Amino acid sequence: MARAKKSAIIAVANQKGGVAKTTSVASIGAAMAEAGKRVLLVDLDPQASLTFSLGIDPDVVEVSIHEVLLGQAEVTEAILEASEGVDLLPSTIDLASAEAQLLTRPGREFVLQSVLEEVRSDYDVILLDCSPSLGVLTLAALTAATGLIIPMQAEMLSHRGVGQLLDTVRDVKKLLNKKLKTIGILPTMYDGRSNHAREVLDDLGGRYKLPVLSPPIPRTVRFAEAPAAGRSILDTARSSKGASAYREVTERILEAI
Ligand code: ADP
Ligand code: MG
């Protein structure tokens, strides 16, 4: 019976760049695969950092999510087997123009949902790596998702804009996707030695009235190095404290979905 269950679709979103969305998708995806889950990662950012970090050169990708969203290719034609036992729906720079092309289409918010419906029974979990904007692609991700994780750098300045994201989530729930559940805020790049970071962390849940996933992901140089190597993060940093934090957080997420 369990195999017939539809996959959870988790959007990892925050319109601020550099808060570890992509790192979190790659790391949580790899940890879920380690736990025996069938995982699909979806790169929704024209910068294609997720695609690149999984060792795939976006410039040589022939069929990407761009063609799939515009109805020019089947989703199964675009999905690749990536490292770490996960599948990837890759992005390329072409995706930058999809946003504009989708703008004039009726039902554009549902375009990703209907694409993923075709492969949903093949996976236990589908993770969506959103771009740093609240544009059409992020709205489509929130509309397709059953769960939302909001990575947030554990320092004050990065919290501007979270209110706007939460307003958007509220509207999406009301108008487009009643099933969307906010799994929690994921504190990233956490420096436990800093009093300031600790205070911000203690304050987070109460301020936004949302669950805060635990443990926070520590700031480590191993993460900063991984994407440059063009390899997935858990792979390069398998035994680092960052990787073990992601494994623990992944257990919490699997309990929550
Ligand atoms: P986003 O997708 O939100 O823009 P990324 O995942 O690309 O963020 O991360 C931004 C940068 O921060 C990258 O260079 C990444 O390697 C680095 N980074 C991510 N997580 C950590 C961490 N825990 N410690 C140190 N550097 C990190
Ligand atoms: Mg990113």
* ipTM (interface pTM): 0.99
Question: pLDDT tens, 24-80?
Answer: 999 999 999 999 999 999 999 999 999 998 889 999 999 999 999 999 999 999 999
Question: pLDDT tens, 81-113?
Answer: 987 789 999 999 999 999 899 999 999 999 999
> 132 by DSSP, 3-state: which?
coil
Indicate which CATH number applies to the domain containing 233.
3.40.50.300
Distance 221 CA to ligand 1 centre (A): 10
Question: pLDDT tens, 110-133?
Answer: 999 999 999 999 999 999 999 999
pLDDT band, residue 15 (cuts 50/70/90): very high
Q: Which residue has the higher pLDDT, 237 or 128?
A: 128
**Cβ of 16 below 6 Å from ligand 1:** no
Distance 63 CA to ligand 1 centre (A): 27
Distance 131 CA to ligand 1 centre (A): 13
Structure tokens belonging to residue 96: 């930058």
**Cβ of 228 below 6 Å from ligand 1:** no
Tell me what pLDDT residue 178 has.
97
Among all bound ligands, the one having the nearest atom to the CA of 188 is 1
Tell me what pLDDT residue 225 has.
64
pLDDT at 136 over 70: yes
* Reduced 3-state DSSP string for 162-195: HHHHHHHHHHHHHHCCCCCEEEEEEEECECCCCH
Mutate to test the pocket of ligand 1, among 213, 221, 223 (most ligand atoms within 8 A of CB): 223
**Cβ of 216 below 6 Å from ligand 1:** no
Tell me what pLDDT residue 220 has.
86
Tell me what pLDDT residue 121 has.
95
Tell me what pLDDT residue 203 has.
87
- CA–CA separation, 30 and 84 (whole Å): 6
HSE-CB at 42 with a 13 A cutoff on CA atoms is 32
What is the amino acid identity at position 195?
N
**Cβ of 188 below 6 Å from ligand 1:** yes
CB 211 within 8 A of CB 205: yes
- CA–CA separation, 241 and 222 (whole Å): 9
Q: Is the Cα torsion angle 128, 133, 136, 139 positive or negative in sign?
A: positive
Neighbours of 66 (CB within 10 A): 22
Residues of the domain holding 180:
2-256
Mutate to test the pocket of ligand 1, among 12, 23, 42 (most ligand atoms within 8 A of CB): 23
pLDDT band, residue 234 (cuts 50/70/90): low
Tell me what pLDDT residue 236 has.
55
**Cβ of 17 below 6 Å from ligand 1:** yes
Distance 114 CA to ligand 1 centre (A): 30
Among all bound ligands, the one having the nearest atom to the CA of 44 is 2
**Cβ of 220 below 6 Å from ligand 1:** yes
pLDDT at 2 over 50: no
What ligand 1 atom has the least distance to the C-alpha of 49? Answer: 7
Question: pLDDT tens, 146-164?
Answer: 999 999 987 765 677 888 9
For the residues 183-200, what does the mean pLDDT come to?
91
Distance 116 CA to ligand 1 centre (A): 27
Tell me what pLDDT residue 230 has.
47
φ, ψ for residue 206, nearest 5 deg: -65, -40
Neighbours of 12 (CB within 10 A): 30
CB 213 within 8 A of CB 238: no
Neighbours of 199 (CB within 10 A): 12
pLDDT at 233 over 90: no
Distance 175 CA to ligand 2 centre (A): 27
CB 41 within 8 A of CB 177: no
How many domains does the chain contain in total?
A: 1
